[in-house]
Structure 1
Amino acid sequence: MTSLPGSGDDGGSAAQPQTLVCARCGTTEQAPQPTWTCSVENGARRYFCDRCSRENLRAIEGRLDSAWW
């Protein structure tokens, strides 16, 4: 099972929703979306909205860093 940073058991206090920002276009969401893509590049997580993910699907599947798209 995988989880987002900060989503573990923290003694019973309510977890704050994580705001995600698309690394390509800047679109924001208040919670993880099933249509967004998460990429780890140089040890850092980068999130891409569904529109940017669809537009760059071949590059993502080819495992190219986003700097190449």
Structure 2
Amino acid sequence: MTSQPGDDRAHRPSPADAVCARCGTTAQGPPLTWTCSVERGVRRYFCDACAREHIRAIEGRLDSDRW
């Protein structure tokens, strides 16, 4: 699919894209370097930068709303 100027489909993530639950970064995948967490039954992905910044909270099993 080719996007045209003014076509917002180029900026909308597809269902196959992963979106960081913390900063909103998108990637095709999810990439192997991202962290996945299940919080209250919902799968959430975190990019490398957010995971590195909050690794102690992740390892302590704190829900991301507590970071």
What displacement does 1:31 show? 1.1
Q: Which runs of 5+ in 1 are unaligned?
A: 1-15
Task: Report how many residues are paired.
Answer: 54
Calculate percent identity across the aligned residue pairs: 70
The residue that corresponds to 1:51 in the other structure is 49
Partner of 1:26: 24
Q: Structure 1 stretches (4+) deviating beyond 4 angstroms?
A: none
Q: Secondary structure at the match of 2:49?
A: helix
Instruction: Give the TM-score of the pair, scaled to structure 1.
Output: 0.74
The runs of 5 or more residues in structure 2 that have no matched partner are 1-13
Distance between the aligned counterparts of 2:55 and 2:25, measured in 1?
18
TM-score, normalised relative to structure 2: 0.76
Q: Residue type of the partner of 1:30?
A: Q
Q: Match of 2:38, SS?
A: strand
Within-5 A mapping of 1:1-69:
18-69=16-67
